[in-house]
Structure 1
Amino acid sequence: MTTKPHVQKVDVVVLGAGAAGMMCAIEAGKRGRRVVLLDHAERVGKKILISGGGRCNFTNIHCRPENFLSENLHFAKSALARFTPSDMIAMVERHGIRYHEKTLGQLFCDRSAHDIVTMLERECAEAGIRIILGAKAISVERNDYLEVRTSESAFHSESVVIATGGLSIPKMGATTLGYTLAEQFGLRIVACRPGLVPLVFSAEDREQWCDLAGLSAEVVAQARARPREGSFREKMLITHRGLSGPAILQTSSYWQPGEAITIDLAPDLNVLAPLLARNARRDASAAANAIRAVLPSRMAERWVVLHDPVDWTNASLAKMEQHLHQWPLTPAGTEGYAKAEVTVGGVDTVELDAKTMQSRKVPGLYFIGEVVDVTGWLGGYNFQWAWASGVSAGQSA
């Protein structure tokens, strides 16, 4: 015979001990709230530990609302203004964590992502947060109060904060719990898809390019459907199945199945100009030699083989130059959630108060972090959204 667990009364239950959930718990605890932090994992901050190659790209100094995707591009403004990169840097420095800036404003720990998790654990301890790990069969119901149950515990709470993350990296324990709870309470979900994810070549493109796996170049990649928002100048990497690298990962978040992307392989350069000079040699070898200035040698040679003109007139060279700057590709798909860094889509922001992250339909129910339809660019933006949305909810819950 099984007995029901004793119901405990608390002020706030946070579901999910990741970046957003821990920050929310800390902020609520600082206000004197009795907070329980629940997670099905056996330790806190699992995705933090693997982020940034193990060094955690914990914020970006250039973070602003324009660096995020959402059906409501204005939604993130309030939270991002409430807790800025400077606030996160101050917290990191207060704990004596050394860090450095890489490219494009990205801040990483000098030593290890463990430093960030340890910082959050210490802040939780100081705020009196009760952490319960390995929680199974989590459910939430609403009567005159919010009730959270697991297989071993039950809580009556004024506030429940859903910080369960998205669907990316399932091997780290990603689940659909956050979306299931949102739908249970009648909240709309914006269709989810993998974001910041490698793209997979079509069968034809795979035959032409995948034997060059490992080669990279600086490019400008853009999703054709969203050229203004989704254009990125960074590295592209050829893989055994398609394309990756920062430029492609960024573009993937804006890409929709069936659409094309466009890649500029020689940004700001007129690569074939030397062949237009008087008495210049005009043949495949001369073209490949010119293109080696911007692409790895084998990729330059392959490009010429695949785009060898019928003749070498000025018009043909101009067309070849144009192809270098507008290489159209229609990916067959992505590498999926297994290789995705984030989930695009989630709980519709129309359902939430932008200042508090509280549900408009269910008082006391909050959604923060990746489970919400706010997705950042590569480079620390998603962590800043996690911190900021967590703080916003923690100041209200």
Structure 2
Amino acid sequence: MLRYGDYTLSDDLITKITAVARHDDLVPSFVICQLCHETALGQHPNSISAREDNNWSGMTWGYDDLDPKTRKSGVQVTPGRKRPAVEGGYYIHYATVEDFLKDYGYLLRNGGFYKTSGAKTLWDHARGLFRLGGAQYDYAGDGSNSEKVFNSYYTSMKTIHDALNADGSLDRIDKGESSNMAGLQSLFSIARQYLNEQMYGSGHRRIVDTYNGQNPLPVGYKLKIDDDWCAAFVTAMSILSGNYALTGGECGVERFVRDVFQKKGIWLGKVRPQAGDIIIFDWDANYWADHIGYVESVSGDTVYTIEGNSGSPSAVRRQSYTWNMWQIKGYDRPKWDYASPAPLSVGGKSIDAIAQEVLTGARSYRIKKNTSSLFE
């Protein structure tokens, strides 16, 4: 959560703003500061349209009629509150804040009205909102003194940025670090115990058994030892680390995307990834997902993964790829910052100790659907 004066931005909205920003090659913290400047993140008492129309930036209805419209972003809108009498017209009404953010990102993206995509500094981002910085229109003011208005606008954004980032919160958001990564840490702690475990070996059999311990089984299917098992690996690791509620479970990769990730609202498509994302592949470019793994880390344009059913012979392996290569269908991002994993301290033992017991077969787990609790 971020706080600026009396206004707060929830972790859920931070995640949504970040997803839009990364999709449109924008720095998340710059977008947050801009929206904070505009309407105090939709909460300023004078920003009635922000609250009633989900319009956090005063976007104006620029059409001659009042019929519903579909914006170039694909977002459907209707007329909202009337603007002040001296200005005339209406604000745009968005059905949801998510619709507003999508439309807003579309305007700021590369090829939109403004020159903010790819900006590396707050100054560059703010300047790109004005003609003097390459924008088609001045974001604020009437264009008569663009330099003066820009300087005032940037000064306000810089003040907001410094206040929000006093404890490094914005830096962590830009780096993709969650406020609480305990759930992800526990998952990787267990997944690393399975590295190099080969198909048909004892580790693989325990992955299959863990997957089959779901009650009920996804689509009612019991995984066989000869089946592809990359999705089962992802599922089993989430079960064993207590993160099942965040990721769900499946043994079919396409179903994982369509029936689990998209329904949970964590499917992002091909955006710049971060540690903890789940990576999805479409090896044949036929629009059918057919491989999956966990993103362990990202460095520059390279993404490093842990995957089950990988390589030859089939095993749990670390791999690396260019983050946007054509075989990658996209990424989903579980809400690790909400993670409160089921305590894996059964009998007072640590996560690592229990992971080793699971690996050696001394302990096994099953999971009930719609819970994240483990039971022996």
TM-score (norm 2): 0.24
Give 1 or 2: higher strand fraction: 1
* Greater relative contact order (Cα < 8 A, sep 6+): 1
